[in-house]
Structure 1
C-alpha cells in the first residue's frame, strides 16, 4: 500500500488571456504526482492548465 504524502501549500495563478480570474493568485494544498510535472493545477474558471505554481512559505 502506498503511503500518502503530505500536501504542499502552493500559490496558483492563471495567466490565460480573457480568463475572469487571470493574474489572481489562489492558495491551495497540492499533493505531489509520481511523474513530471510534480505539481499540477487547472483553472476553475477557464479550465486551462496553470503553470505558475509557487510554494507558499510561512
Structure 2
C-alpha cells in the first residue's frame, strides 16, 4: 500500500490515515493495526476531530 511505502521512505515517526475514513469501524481498525505492524511509524487516530500536534520527540 502507498501509505506503507511512503512512511518507510520518509522515515516518518508519526502519521495518520486519511482515506480509511470510508471504512466501517472494524475495517478501519484492521487497516490501522496492519499499518502499525508494517512500519515503525506511530499512527494516530484522528477520527474524533480534535486538534492534534506532532510530538516533539
Q: Is the pair's TM-score, using the shorter chain for normalization, greater than 0.5? A: no
Structure with bigger helix share is: 2
Find the structure with the greater CA-based Rg. 1
Q: TM-score, normalised by structure 1?
A: 0.29
Structure with bigger strand share is: 1
